[in-house]
A and B are shown apart, each in its own frame.
Chain A
Amino acid sequence: MKLKALLKAGVLGVSTLAMASVAAAQDKTIRIVGFGAASGVVGIFGQNSSAAMSAAFEKINAEGGVELADGSKAMIETEYYDDRCNAEEGISVLRRIASTDALVAIGPTCSNVAEPLFGILQAKVDDEGDTGLQFPVFTDVAIKGGLAGISEWVFRNTPSESQMYDDLFAWLRTNHPDLKTIYGGVEEDFAHSRFTWYSVMKTAAEKHGFEVVGEAQWLLSDTNFSNQARGMRRAEPDVVAISAHPFTTCGMLREMTRQRIQPKILVGLTSSSSLETLSGCANEAEGLTIPTSFAPVNEEAKAAAEAVVAKGGQMDLHSASAWENAMILKDIIEAAEIGGTPETLEEDRRKIRDALAELENAPGLLGSNKRLPDGEAVKPYVFVHAKDGSWDVLHNPGS
């Protein structure tokens, strides 16, 4: 009996959701849906994104909403789906979003969801032979380099790390001409960490005359770093770059303190410029220098950060992208002159995609975002460092 009731509830749950979204489209509203990891170990990312998105849409709606092709105004409706950072769930969620009247989706959180997700989309627009899903996705968080190239339906507003780190090392070279050697630390089983160290940081460091004297590798759930730190101690590097999650970043930093390794400069992964690292090990992280595409350096950014906090989230480089995506989409929708009716749904999605593809510059919180033809973005950034338990802007190349 109980089982039957449970199953019934499940079926009801699935169908009411689908129906609710249809019913809501009756008066002038359009839907933009967010998705990503809102539970599990990385759930905090999705929760922040979700808060940023709804704060941004609330702001847009308060200012009158979005203008449609016929000149009328529409409110933006949004909701956020949890994919638990699981590839199958992510695909399922996107299919579900595409089956409703949503115009475009913002997400996902995890690069390992993004990769399969982009794979089920049509690779090239108008490719008759490709039956991939035709739905625009505008990614805020999944940051691993080069993913947008998988499909022409994908656009990303994640910062391009290669430019940021290139600039960071150039800046280090200028400001600290005495620094010669660099030692890398990388979380081997985490795609983003690997990519950033091997393809971004290392290249950039070598380009600006640093000598890579060694690499330390560890895994996501490692708890013992003494072997890795010992190699680092012997190499006596001037710069140590750590490309890892906050948990192991903290573990490694602690081990470095213990083994009295004192590099002159510590460089971190851009994702580490969030609250987590500081909540885990503020003391050891002191001085950790990171390029990031968000810091509350101007009025607009401060206001946005406050709005997100009011929604129960935190503003960091990831959720800032979610905020910006919402704002960019508003402009895109107005410029694309969409119908906003159920009949024009397919057409509207295509218009949004085309408009995103043609976009070359978009306003961001820190200044103008440059859009690349392959769907990636180059965003303004600042260099921050950890100081007294918070992220302090060290240098703002844009100003």
Chain B
Amino acid sequence: MDFYFGLAQIFGVHTLLGLSAYVVLLTGQVSMAQAGFYAIGAYTAGAMTAMFGLHILPAIVIAGLVSAAIACIVGFPALRVKGLMLVVATLAFGEMVRLFFFNLSWQVERGGELFGPDGAEGFRSIRYFPENGWEVWHVTVFIWIVVAVVMAALWWMDRTRAGAVLRAVGHDEVAAQSIGLNLTAVKVGAMTAGGFIAGLGGGIYAHTVTHIEHGVFGVLLATFAIAYPILGGLGSVFGTLLAVLFIQGFLIEGLRFMGDWRSLLFGALIVLAMNLRPNGLLGEHAPRLKSILRLGKPAPDSLETKDAN
């Protein structure tokens, strides 16, 4: 049973990572910096519990806030560019974060042992959960409460004007500016929210694996972060969740019996999925609560989007 709970933990943590990219993607920005924010969250939260003995909850909230603050600061220069330039700029930022932690050594003594990040050796013994008597299922429930809160908040945000504004900016920046939206504010806002969610996710991640090191937070993880919402579709938060289940549950865990063919199939299936469903598994339009409730009437037909340019 613990195996399934453990799997659910991975799903939860990756959902947070995916959602952090989802918020930014709504504004049409592909950010490869999410792994960097995730790393900041992981190291911050790890430091809070392992080095300073904080409770896990304030630790991950602080991790989220620190990541959000840095995302906000980085957002201003990075979002001056867009498209491929932004992909590369954010990728560079993510790598800078990783290399920062590669070079960071800062340990404090607690109970005769040294705790803290130790450069290339990584940050060991982030064992808040086992040391405080949390069973695997406790941890799983805790993670999913956090995930549920974040998903609910994003779902709710999508109902508000803020959500519509994000989507409007994502669809057509020129038009969005012409109706008086402050692009910088909207994009930096999305980046900050994404940073916060990635920070939460990273903070939890650090505690589920007990040891983190710079190598984890590389380009591959950043790619996964954007892969979840793109694969799932930008229609709603559930697209991201579905994509996490598809990648982590099916492609990684479900195909494990295939040995090393699994890794080959992994990439091939992603290629196939994007060819068959280019708008993501759940599509790109936000399902309207009304049309879901009004099951009798057919939902408004979502035709192929016309190229607005």
Contacts and interface: CB of A to CB of B under 8 A. Distances in A.
Are A and B genuine complex partners? Answer: yes
B127 A2 contact: no
Interface string B109-144: 000000000001110111101111111100000000
Contact of A131 (B135, B211, B256, B263): B135
A99 B1 contact: yes
Interface in A177-191: 188-191
A95 B3 CA distance: 5
B209 A14 contact: no
Query: Does more than half of chain B's interface fall in helix, strand or loop, or is it mixed?
Result: helix
A281 B148 CA distance: 54
A39 B250 contact: no
B287 interface: no
A9 B257 CA distance: 12
A376 to B, nearest CB: 17
Interface stretch (A117-125, A207-215, A269-277, A367-375): A117-125
B10 interface: yes
Nearest to A135: B2
For A17, A131, A195, which residue has the most chain B Cβ atoms within 10 angstroms? A131
B213 to A, nearest CB: 6
A87 B3 CA distance: 15
A81 interface: yes
A122 B122 CA distance: 20
Contact of A92 (B6, B102, B130, B246): B6
A392 B295 CA distance: 76
B207 to A, nearest CB: 10
A191 B259 contact: no
A112 interface: yes
Interface residues of B, number: 51
Interface string A1-23: 01100110111011011100000
A71 interface: no
A55 B124 CA distance: 35
Contacts of A38: 259-260
B256 A81 contact: yes
B276 interface: yes
A351 interface: no
Interface string B237-257: 000000001100111111111
Interface string A296-318: 00000000000000000000000
Interface in A137-179: 150
A14 B129 contact: no
B281 interface: yes
B216 interface: yes
A129 B253 contact: no
Contact of B3 (A9, A39, A84, A99): A99
B167 interface: no
Given A131-B130, A131-B134, A87 B216 contact: yes
Contact of B124 (A16, A39, A119, A195): A119
A114 to B, nearest CB: 9
A96 B5 CA distance: 10
Contact of A96 (B3, B120, B127, B214): B3
A130 interface: yes
Nearest to A194: B120
A3 B252 CA distance: 16
A6 B129 CA distance: 35
Contacts of A9: 250, 254
**Which size bracket describes the interface of A in this complex?**
35 or more
Q: For B124, B214, B276, B277, which residue has the most chain A Cβ atoms within 10 angstroms?
A: B124
Given A13-B255, A39-B263, A82-B262, A115 B211 contact: yes
A357 interface: no
B77 to A, nearest CB: 27
Max chain A C-beta neighbours (<10 A), residue from B121, B134, B277:
B121
Given A17-B257, A39-B260, A115-B211, A92 B216 contact: no
A295 interface: no
Contacts of A64: none
B127 A191 contact: no
A112 B276 CA distance: 37
Contacts of A115: 122, 124, 211, 213
Nearest to B282: A3
A293 B208 CA distance: 34
A40 B261 CA distance: 11
9 contacts: A10-B249, A10-B250, A10-B255, A39-B260, A115-B211, A119-B126, A131-B129, A191-B120, A194-B120
Interface of B: 1-4, 6-7, 10, 102, 120-122, 124-127, 129-136, 208-216, 245-246, 249-257, 259-260, 262-263, 269, 276-277, 281
Given A87-B216, A88-B208, A89-B252, 13 more contacts: A13-B250, A38-B260, A39-B260, A87-B209, A87-B211, A91-B209, A95-B7, A99-B4, A119-B127, A120-B130, A123-B127, A129-B131, A190-B120
Interface of A: 2-3, 6-7, 9-11, 13-14, 16-18, 38-40, 43, 47, 80-82, 84, 87-89, 91-93, 95-96, 98-99, 112, 115-116, 119-120, 122-123, 129-133, 150, 188-191, 194-195
Please provide the 9 A-B residue pairs with the shortest distance between their CB atoms, ordered closest to farther.
Answer: A119-B210, A10-B254, A10-B250, A39-B260, A99-B3, A132-B130, A116-B211, A116-B209, A95-B6
